[in-house]
Structure 1
Amino acid sequence: MVRLPLVWAQRTNATALLGYHRLTPSISSAAAAARGPDMDEILRRTVAAVPAYETREKPLSPAVFEAQTREFVCFYRGLAAARRPAFLTRLATEYGADHDRVAELCGRVAEAQSRGLGALLQAEDRLRHSLTPRYKFLIGHISRLEDGVKFIVDLRADVLQCLSSKSADSPEIREMNGILKTLLSNWFSIGFLNLERVTWQSSCELLQKISEYEAVHPVRNWTDIKRRVGPYRRCYVFTHCAMPREPLVVLHVALSDDISNNIQAIVRQGPSPETTEDVNKITAAIFYSISSTQPGLQGVELGNYLIKQVVKELQAEFPHMNQFSSLSPIPGFTKWLVGIISDQIKEGTSKRIFTQTEYKEIQGINEGSVLETLKRLLTTNEWVRSDKFVRVLELPFMRLCAWYLYGEKHRGGALNPVANFHLQNGAVMWRLNWLADTSTRGISSSSGMMVNYRYFLEDTNQNSVQYLRTRHIEASEQILSLVAQFQKISKL
């Protein structure tokens, strides 16, 4: 995380940066836990107070449950992280739908069919209400509070954490997650999102958050931030009216005259912040980083909408721009490759990885078992320090990576999550780039390789529909050639 110097903070608003902290309740966590009600009491006061069907049609003031709702929010924020799974489990289990009532009303719906349409619709309405978990009504009241939507987003992040833990996972928690995801998907639909461009003149608080949230290529210092929002660069965020100070997803774009094949040239060797842009040299937009900032919005479509909106903005600013591409990392490739090598060691063969010539070249560089040596070098990143290894491993690693992106599947789609994201958006798997990211993270995660997913605007909708329906991947000749070579060697 980057902490910017006082001189920079004083440029616009020192208080916003140096006093910056996450939004917290007015009562401290310790004080809330000490003075507030216990778990049983808070649930009884809030969730159990939800009116039954018979009273729900009476006029209810929004202020009726406001005090109890605020108390619930304060109590939950005061809970230690270790206690939250138990609280959420109780909330989901004891204050979900009344299953006995649902069974009873199902019978009444069947009986009402013989009494006319009016009776049937009323019975169905009662059943519909009984199927709604009581905690969902509480969530509705929380959403009306200031910062209530942010609280619900964070609450879902905790629910997702429960699902990742075997001890806290349960059918009730899974149901709660589905309900929260549906609500958030509706609340954060494209019509409610605001597109903002981040510049050096943006608030210090926003720039600070952009630096903290950058998950792909970490921001190093204040000069780095200034470069990423300066000339030949664009940074865009989506915000929501209910969370105006929180960027939801961040997209960094480099402007160039060609599609970049190396990330260091963008994030470390970019133009000086004092450079003047030459519009005539800008014909390509490279999306080199997209980061979701809210774990609670996992699975809610935001990134694809952001890319589409940004393309429209760039086309309006640069009408002659005709190239749109990502420069994407390949997370998980090195781990997958180490797994392949481990399998080959067990089987006592290397035919699925190297040609006979390549095998002999590697053996000539290092005595001993080729596969054992490669496994060790990949685990320690040492191979990249040897010019001989870099030269010999380029083609086999490119073949393997092409297959990993194109051929390895998860539920029919691309195994690699970044590939799956861009392919769903309608991009073409266009170019694999050798040693495009030589940072420690790039070598460890992707063996230094990156890939361009290119957006041909006239084809994106068709490509997207085709991928979602048939899982067919549109790929360039380079990718297909590497895949074919891999299949020939591995005899797949």
Structure 2
Amino acid sequence: MACLRRLAQLCGVKSFRHFPPALRSAAMVFRSQHVVQLRAMSTESQDFAQFLHTVFTSPDLGTIAIENKCKNFCGFYRKLDDNCKTAFLSYLAQHYSINQDNVIQVAHTLTLAQERGEAFLVRSLERMRSAMTPRYQNLFQQIGRIEGGVKFLVDMRADLLNFTSSSTSELDSAHFQALSRLLQELLTLWFGVGFLHLQRVTWTSPCDLVQKISDFEAVHPIRSWRDLRQRVGSYRRCYTFTHNSMPREPVVVLHTALTSEISSNIHSIIHNPRFRAVTQASEDSQPNNSSVEPFEEEDPAQITTAVFYSITSTHRGLQGVEMGNYLIKRVVRELQSEFPHLSQFSSLSPIPGFRDWLVGQINLQLHRSNIGEGDSCQQLLTPSEIESLQPFRQSHHTSTLEAFKHLVQTNQWLAKEETVTAMKGPLLRLCARYLYKEKRRGFALNRVANFHLTNGAVLWRINYLADTSIRGLNQSCGLMVNYRYYLNETENNSTTYFQQQRIAVSPAVLELAESQESTDQSALQENGAH
């Protein structure tokens, strides 16, 4: 009846009896549906409670019994829809986590432990460690030992991450995070570099593996079989880490271009001029050996540089499990073995989030200007940049900065050579500022930058018109960046970044990041133009 009382309040009547006749039947339907939902939730909770009670109280009488228990758990979970999975994991986390009463009891004994000698203290600490271990941890460890168990836990952690981000319950979020952290710790152990296998993927690799490489590519999507064939063809290397417990399942993928210099735009890699064109019929359908021309034979003398242009972690459930750094190191050794004269290693990386950050900074400056806290162009555009952009200011723009914002948001600057030239200076300079100076807890704000800087790379060069696809323009105004790996400096750079939060940067990028002319005179001119 509580639901009807609430409905009556919303309708402005005293009780159900005062409902208009037309609403009374609808209210009864609402009440019936609400009761059905409550009963269904109650039944689900009872089912979960009974099932989990069986799982956690069944004696582990040998390997077969443990394996059957784990298979039953996995099978039960897989049959649930997302709503039921959320409720199931919430019940698991709340009822089979750390026993708080045990922890309090053991903590009490610790206060007396030192008085009873070192041996008693050691035993008490061990009891505390055991009491602080969630009951579901042992179950997850057992699941990890059965066939398909590790993949199941990876997928379940992906569910947990999704449920955590969408949960409206603070308690559920806390429980989901605890479950997720424990799974991350287990997966970090199981996916250590010693358990990973480096595999090169070529056009002759198993079809399902090649297809997964295409499906998982997130940085520069593969649009056709011709495109895919090129990515694993001549002057290209595609490497992946696989795990024994997830056979034929790439867990992280690295695409590399073999060139004579460090590439400054992605189009020179994706649209490889060395690649011999295949027949039009193979563009949208899977080609066979008779429908395509052979790959061009590589000339080792022209290969001096390895450009890492895409690295993708393929499973959300492995988020936070570091493998990309190890994959790059292994690939470097592999390429050095194949091409001993290889001397340059660099990424060609996207800059996700740059345009959003830039628009946010512009809006902030425009707001400050509107409330009288200075000129809108100060701190963002230099006098020379304002002068270059002034011709593109339209009558409805209140300032040159607003015109700049319009060009950034609409991508219209790419349509004319004049605007392409005018936009180059401010975009390169502000991007350098974003990558070098914008921090989160002392480390680079941009996640891709943080990844490569953590690995010990140098913020080496920012490239204009490097990715003029819609995706590239919307992410970063068409800019890309090279993080260069000087192999004899990576360890020191990584240590410095971790300990001192200092970014290894080339002189050219540093000059861009720190260049900011005085805007006083420009501000006066701009105010006059208002």
- Shorter-chain TM-score above 0.5: yes
2:506 is aligned with 1:476: yes
Q: TM-score, normalised by structure 1?
A: 0.87
Distance 1:343 1:123, change over 3 A: closer
8 Å Cα contact 2:382/2:517 also seen in 1? no
8 Å Cα contact 2:456/2:493 also seen in 1? yes
2:388 is aligned with 1:367: no
Worse overlay, 184-193 or 382-391: 382-391
- Given candidates 19, 39, 49, the residue that maps to 2:48 is 39
- Given candidates 176, 181, 186, the residue that maps to 1:178 is 181
Deviation at 1:125, TM superposition (A): 2.9
8 Å Cα contact 2:355/2:477 also seen in 1? yes
Number of residue pairs aligned between Structure 1 and Structure 2: 450
Residue pairs, 1:56-205, within 5 angstroms: 60-169=61-170, 170-205=173-208
- Given candidates 242, 245, 250, the residue that maps to 2:248 is 245
State the match for 2:301 in structure 1: 280
State the match for 1:357 in structure 2: 384
2:323 is aligned with 1:296: no
**1:85-109 CA deviation, whole Å, 9 max, x = no partner?**
2221211111101100111122234
Cα distance in 2 between the residues matched to 1:166 and 1:489: 47
Where do 5+ consecutive residues of structure 2 fail to align?
A: 1-42, 277-294, 370-375, 523-530
AA partner of residue 68 (structure 2): A
Worse overlay, 374-383 or 205-214: 374-383
8 Å Cα contact 2:184/2:321 also seen in 1? yes
Deviation at 1:271, TM superposition (A): 2.1
What's the C-alpha RMSD, in Å, of the aligned pairs? 2.2
Deviation at 1:380, TM superposition (A): 2.5
Where do 5+ consecutive residues of structure 1 fail to align?
A: 1-33, 52-58
Secondary structure of the residue aligned to 2:65 is: coil
8 Å Cα contact 2:113/2:120 also seen in 1? yes
Worse overlay, 235-244 or 61-70: 61-70
8 Å Cα contact 2:238/2:253 also seen in 1? yes
AA partner of residue 47 (structure 2): D
8 Å Cα contact 1:227/1:271 also seen in 2? no
Secondary structure of the residue aligned to 1:444 is: helix
8 Å Cα contact 2:350/2:476 also seen in 1? yes
Cα distance in 1 between the residues matched to 2:229 and 2:240: 16
Cα distance in 1 between the residues matched to 2:306 and 2:512: 26
8 Å Cα contact 1:50/1:137 also seen in 2? no
8 Å Cα contact 1:259/1:286 also seen in 2? yes
8 Å Cα contact 2:48/2:91 also seen in 1? no
Deviation at 1:44, TM superposition (A): 1.3
Deviation at 1:221, TM superposition (A): 0.6
Cα distance in 1 between the residues matched to 2:500 and 2:114: 42
8 Å Cα contact 1:50/1:138 also seen in 2? no
Deviation at 1:225, TM superposition (A): 1.0
Deviation at 1:270, TM superposition (A): 4.1
2:443 is aligned with 1:413: yes
Deviation at 1:352, TM superposition (A): 1.8
Cα distance in 1 between the residues matched to 2:113 and 2:390: 80
Q: Which has the higher contact order (CA 8 A, sep 6+)?
A: 1
The structure that has the greater radius of gyration is 2
State the match for 2:9 in structure 1: none
Deviation at 1:161, TM superposition (A): 1.6
Cα distance in 1 between the residues matched to 2:139 and 2:58: 7
- Given candidates 221, 225, 232, the residue that maps to 1:222 is 225
Distance 1:488 1:239, change over 3 A: farther
Distance 1:477 1:71, change over 3 A: same
2:482 is aligned with 1:452: yes
**1:334-376 CA deviation, whole Å, 9 max, x = no partner?**
1111111111221221122222333233221342323333323
